[in-house]
Amino acid sequence: MKKLKIAVQKSGRLHDESLSLLKDCGINIDNGRDQLKASATNFPLEIYYLRNGDIPQYLKDGVVDCAIIGENILIEKGEGTSIADRLGFSKCRVSLAIPNSFKYESIEDLNGKRIATSYPETLRDYLKQKGIEAELHIISGSVEIAPNIGLADAICDIVSSGSTLFKNNLKEVEVILKSEAVLAVSPNISDNENIILNKLRFRIQSVLQGRDSRYVLLNAPNDKIEDIIKILPGMKSPTLLPLAEEGWSSLHSVVNKDTFWEVIDELKLAGAEGILVCPIEKMIV
């Protein structure tokens, strides 16, 4: 039986969140300790655990059919590889940062400067767009230390919370790109594997839609229902059920988690009472 080959990061936060997503998709992985390859027991899927920086080449060569990978790595090394879905976790940004003592007013201040980075292609493209010429020092790790040891005047690296920059007396001055985990697809994927991929994508999208939504149940007097329905359109329209108490109804609907509190405030003003909010495991539309 054909299996879809998917690559995930060998270790780290992206590894954990990737496996958590697959688990939420109902996929059980027979994974022993320190294995580099494992199979799902209930879905035609084979998982390859790879170094993050190696995954784009495996995709381009067709060794794996797809991968859960940081968009920043894909942009840097995965030319020709397409993104099927954005997954909403492992968010970060690729940014330029300088020492706190550097008097910085604009990107022009980096003309002729030395910049240490693990993202040379991304940085070259950005500097070219801005018309800046700089000397690049390519470093595979611990880029933040470069200004402190006199190797560079600035750095270009990934930033999440900014705490690492702070500890190294650096400040972020330019955001080159924003990144998150994505499902990337090999340009060499076969038709058979693409069928399996679409089944996997259906599950992933259902999980992600559930994560992004909240199920809301509320009670309302019947004369307020029309106003409340305008606030709660739901997936198509809210579910409406009569309560035992005459003149009252219960409404059930779905709210996006990013606008949840604003919607709740509107519902209360419109006359909603007894509002109950539940997480959604999966949502299929």
pLDDT digits (tens, 9 = 90+) for 15-48: 999 999 999 999 998 775 567 899 999 999 999 9
The whole-number pLDDT of residue 260 equals 86
Quick one: 81 and 194 in the same domain?
Answer: yes
User: Per-residue DSSP letters for 105-142?
Assistant: SSGGGGTT-EEEES-HHHHHHHHHHHT---EEEE-SS-
Chain centroid to Cα 22, Å, comes to 14
pLDDT > 70? residue 75: yes
> How many Cα neighbours within 13 Å face the side chain of 277?
11
The whole-number pLDDT of residue 224 equals 92
The whole-number pLDDT of residue 33 equals 59
Percent of the chain with pLDDT over 70: 97
The reply to whether 158 falls in a domain is yes
Dihedrals phi, psi of 141, to nearest 5 degrees: -160, 165
Element (DSSP H or E) covering residue 12 = none
- Residues present in the chain in total: 285
CATH of the domain at 243: 3.30.70.120
pLDDT > 80? residue 237: no
- What pLDDT digit, counting tens, does each position of 251-279 carry? 999 988 888 899 999 999 999 999 999 99
Quick one: 71 and 137 in the same domain?
Answer: no
Band of residue 92 on the pLDDT scale cut at 50, 70, 90: very high
Look up tokens 């080449």; give the residue: 57
The whole-number pLDDT of residue 259 equals 87
The reply to whether 72 falls in a domain is yes
Quick one: 31 and 46 in the same domain?
Answer: yes
The reply to whether 200 falls in a domain is yes
* Three-state SS annotation for 161-173: CCHHHHHCCEEEE
The stretch 169-183 carries a mean pLDDT of 95
The reply to whether 285 falls in a domain is no
pLDDT > 80? residue 94: yes
Quick one: 86 and 18 in the same domain?
Answer: yes
CATH of the domain at 144: 3.40.190.10
Quick one: 86 and 189 in the same domain?
Answer: yes
The reply to whether 121 falls in a domain is yes
Quick one: 62 and 198 in the same domain?
Answer: yes
Quick one: 16 and 75 in the same domain?
Answer: yes
Band of residue 234 on the pLDDT scale cut at 50, 70, 90: low
The whole-number pLDDT of residue 233 equals 64
The whole-number pLDDT of residue 187 equals 94
Q: What is the pTM of this model?
A: 0.86
The lowest-confidence range among 21-35, 48-62, 77-91, 208-222 is 21-35
User: Per-residue DSSP letters for 218-261?
Assistant: EEEEGGGHHHHHHH---SSS-EEEE-SSTTEEEEEEEEEGGGHH
Band of residue 235 on the pLDDT scale cut at 50, 70, 90: low
Quick one: 136 and 188 in the same domain?
Answer: no
Dihedrals phi, psi of 118, to nearest 5 degrees: -105, 5
Band of residue 238 on the pLDDT scale cut at 50, 70, 90: confident
Quick one: 100 and 147 in the same domain?
Answer: yes
Determine the Cα–Cα distance for residues 46 and 30; give it in Å rounded to an integer.
10
The reply to whether 284 falls in a domain is no
Quick one: 50 and 169 in the same domain?
Answer: no
**Higher-scoring residue by pLDDT: 80, 190:** 190
The reply to whether 141 falls in a domain is yes
Range of the domain at 117: 92-178
- What pLDDT digit, counting tens, does each position of 128-154 carry? 999 999 999 998 878 999 998 999 999
The whole-number pLDDT of residue 239 equals 85
pLDDT > 70? residue 72: yes
Mean pLDDT of the chain: 92
The whole-number pLDDT of residue 206 equals 96
Band of residue 181 on the pLDDT scale cut at 50, 70, 90: very high
The reply to whether 231 falls in a domain is yes
As for how many domains the chain has, the answer is 3
The stretch 75-96 carries a mean pLDDT of 93
The stretch 117-131 carries a mean pLDDT of 95
Quick one: 48 and 184 in the same domain?
Answer: yes
Quick one: 32 and 162 in the same domain?
Answer: no
